[in-house]
Amino acid sequence: MAGQLASRSRPRRRPLVEGEEARSGFALARARASRLADVGATKRLAVDTMTEPATDAITPRRPREAQLPTVSVVIPVRDGAPYLGEALQSILHQDLADIEVIVVDDGSCDDSAAIATSISDCDSRVKVVANRGKGIVDALNMGISLARAPLVARMDCDDVSLPDRLRLQAACFEADPDLQLLGTAGLQIDRNGKPLKPMDVPIGREQLRDALARYNPMLHPTVMFRTEAVRQVGGYRSAFTYAEDYDLWLRLSETGKLANMDARLVKLRSHPGQISRVKEDQQKAAAALARQSALLRRSRAEPFDASSQPAEAIGAFLAWRAATGVGISSLERRDIELLLRTAGIPLATTCKLLFLATVGAPSFRTLALGPRLAWRRMTARPAKMRRN
């Protein structure tokens, strides 16, 4: 009992008297408390309020710091009301509960913001911020800038994460300090959630490295990465919009380790409104620019502004490539063709690049680049213009 009472501490009142009388009163009170403690007294000593406070300084208790989450989940959304609720619930029901969820509303015209806000009112782990239609790249970078966790997990507003996804991915980062980016395999589902087909990814360091040089080998909504690693390389870049993830993976591969898990931890929804279907040509051109930029960074700086719009960056790159006067290799041919599909490329630049494609001993497909490009541009025109 004495120990319990001693552990309690009441704040002492400010002394009403000062000087020798107060000090002598305080000394008497302390002596009396000592005698009672010696005989095992169990009653708390009521110290006279006319005594002086203890001279020993009391170390103030530091305020307890808010615990940081283990994972920050970034979910950009624009007009994703039909699926957003299911996507958020799949994250909030993870068996790793120590998370925060950052929903970036990119100028939705439907009820997306209202749905996310209603869920955040019930679960404090969800934060909803507005991006006002600035685009996917700005939305992603905003989410990363707000992330408090050392790890960020990506999630699309129409996909579904399995309950153990975050825990399994976070464990891989804990086991491998060199790991910077980790994706998983997936399962494609239709708009109603019905399984369509498995989505495999290359597994193993060599297979992933070889694939990365040719195409995007990671499923963007499945990835988790170290927050600081992405911030240090500059995050997502607007010049590569529609392939902003592929550009980021290529830059991360220059500074650290990338990996894929063969476990299918995310259900990826397929429906007609997806960017990958609506903007297919722009996505292929942006991916081609990402590959060519990765090759350039080995020897020189990129000849365009990475914060510009895709068409501007592609135009600047093609103008620089034409000015080099160096023949186009068979490895470059496919990327150059994809980039030349971009609207607004000057005819002089196109002709110079087609000429450079014939330098040396070009393949038949390289020689056919000009006719294929002309045919594609002609068929891409509106029907009324073709009749004229």
Residue 224 CB contacts under 8 Å (≥ 6 apart), including other chains: 71, 151, 152, 153, 154, 166, 169, 170, 173, 181, 182, 183
Q: How far out from the chain centre does Cα 242 lie?
A: 15
pLDDT tens per residue across span 308-346: 999 999 999 999 999 999 998 888 889 998 999 898 899
- Tell me which of 76 and 277 has the higher pLDDT: 76
**Structure confidence at residue 279 (pLDDT):** 82
The residue among 186, 205, 225 whose CA lies nearest residue 71 is 225
Q: Tell me what pLDDT residue 54 has.
A: 43
How far does Cα 75 stand from its chain's mean position? 9
Model confidence pLDDT, tens digit, residues 250-276: 999 999 999 999 999 999 999 776 666
Calculate mean pLDDT across residues 146-158: 97
Tokens of 289: 């620019």
The torsion angles phi and psi of 138, rounded to 5 degrees, stand at -65, -40
Tell me what pLDDT residue 145 has.
97
Mean pLDDT check: name the lowest of 100-114, 281-295, 324-338. Answer: 324-338
The H or E element spanning position 225 is strand 224-226
Average of per-residue pLDDT across 137-147 = 98
Q: Are 267 and 186 in contact (CB under 8 A)?
A: yes
Angle between helices 81-92 and 112-122 (to 10 degrees): 20
Domains of the chain: 1-57 (no CATH), 71-276 (3.90.550.10), 280-387 (no CATH)
User: Nearest-CA neighbor of 246 among 304, 285, 298, 281?
Assistant: 285
Q: Please report the sign of the dihedral spanned by the C-alpha atoms of residue 82, residue 83, residue 86, residue 92.
A: negative
Q: What percent of the chain has pLDDT over 70?
A: 74
| The pLDDT value given to residue 62 | 46
Q: Are 292 and 187 in contact (CB under 8 A)?
A: no
pLDDT (0 to 100) of residue 51: 41
Secondary structure (3-state) at 76: strand
pLDDT interval class at 122 (50, 70, 90): very high
Confidence (pTM): 0.79
Beta bridge partners of 267: 160, 187
Task: Name which of 223, 120, 212, 125 is nearest 165 in CA terms.
Answer: 223
Question: Which amino acid, 307?
Answer: S
